[in-house]
Amino acid sequence: MRILRRLARFLVLFVILLLARFLYPLLYQLFIPAGSVSTDRQTLMIAHRGASGVAPENTLASFAKALDQGADMLELDIHLSRDGIPVVIHDATLERTTNGHGRVVEYDLAALKQLDAGSWFASEYAGEHIPTLDEVLTLVNGRAPVIIEFKWDKEEGYYPQMAAKVAAIIRAHQASGWCWVQSYEQRYLDEMYRLLPEVPLVKCFIGVWSGPLGFYYDTGFHWGNYRPANYLKGLNLYYRTLTRSQVARLHQAGLQVWSYTVNDPKNMNRQVNLGVDGIITNYPEADY
């Protein structure tokens, strides 16, 4: 019985320590005052899918609004159409942000262009279409850096031709100096580095649905001690999973640190005080 009691105490202690390890980032950000840490680093405001808090996400209207608001960078998502054109849309399916149905990859560009990508947000945006990556780069024309996030289809997964298609478009726009590429999928980053090594690359970790536990379970992050590929310029991390020590460690490794998606001034201030280099937000004109 004595051995069993000792084993039970050990297991309880182990569970407590494990929970503390998992929950530390969340508790840290819950209790640290928003203005309690000073920083001299300039924090960039990165427009998440454009100014998506005030215009339909990933549309030309949203990117134009972000430019008007003075966003430091623009972020967008791409999938491939059935005929292999990089189109700017977050979801692999059409229902949430258009009047279409089914998967993006099931439609040629001409069919995708017939869809309304604005009315779901507000009637004043009726008639906004799904833009191509080429159209967005034409609109921006170097006025702000553009972060291109490579997505994947939920059924077919990784798009084998994505990197080559995007590299060709960036070259056509002579945009290597103002385009970045990011993805959760390491293969995309490896391919982009091979095809266009001058374009900065960023690795994403964990979706907003995963929470702090998922941050540590991500095998790619190795319990917060990520060893990045030598070519990476930065990491894009869910904001509730970050602490000052993690940000400092990544800076010491020569990496930029971006956090997503932060939409209220209090949490923006916390991210600034943690020392992140960029805040991805739906409201790029927000005053933190």
Average pLDDT over residues 88-113: 99
What would the mean pLDDT of 116-139 be, rounded to a whole number? 99
Cβ proximity of 176 and 170 under 8 Å: yes
- Give percent above pLDDT 70 in the chain: 78
Give 157's DSSP letter. Answer: B
Q: What is the rounded CA–CA span in Å between residue 47 and residue 45?
A: 6
Catalytic residue among 48, 79, 173, 251: 48
pLDDT at 205 over 60: yes
Is residue 102's pLDDT more than 70? yes
d(CA 43, CA 80): 32
Mean pLDDT of the chain, nearest integer? 87
- The distance of Cα 249 from the centroid of its chain, to the nearest Å, equals 20
Listed in sequence order, the residues at least 6 apart from 108 whose beta carbon sits closer than 8 Å to its beta carbon are 81, 82, 83
* Phi and psi, residue 62, nearest 5°: -70, -40
Q: Is the pLDDT of residue 193 over 70?
A: yes
Kindly state the average pLDDT of the residues 199-222. Answer: 61
Q: Give residue 217's pLDDT.
A: 42
For 26-123, list the strands marked E by DSSP.
44-48, 73-80, 86-88
Q: Is the pLDDT of residue 38 over 50?
A: no
Which residue has tokens 């899918």?
Answer: 49
pLDDT digits (tens, 9 = 90+) for 66-97: 999 999 999 999 999 999 999 999 999 999 99
- Alpha-carbon distance 284 to 126, whole Å? 23
Q: How many Å from the N-terminal Cα to the C-terminal Cα in the chain?
A: 58
Is pLDDT of 37 > 80? no
Instruction: For residue range 154-167, list pLDDT tens digits in order.
Output: 888 899 999 999 99
What is the pLDDT averaged over residues 147-174?
96
Among residues 90, 101, 129, 251, the one annotated as catalytic is 90
Q: Domain limits of the chain?
A: 43-281
- Average pLDDT (17-41) is 52
**Do residues 205 and 218 make contact, with C-beta atoms less than 8 angstroms apart?**
yes
Q: Is 90 among the catalytic positions?
A: yes
Q: Each residue of 218-249: pLDDT tens digit? A: 445 554 555 567 899 999 999 988 889 889 98
Residue identified by tokens 């998506």 is: 52
* Known catalytic membership, residue 101: no
**What is 43-281's CATH number?**
3.20.20.190
pLDDT range class, residue 142, cuts 50, 70, 90: very high
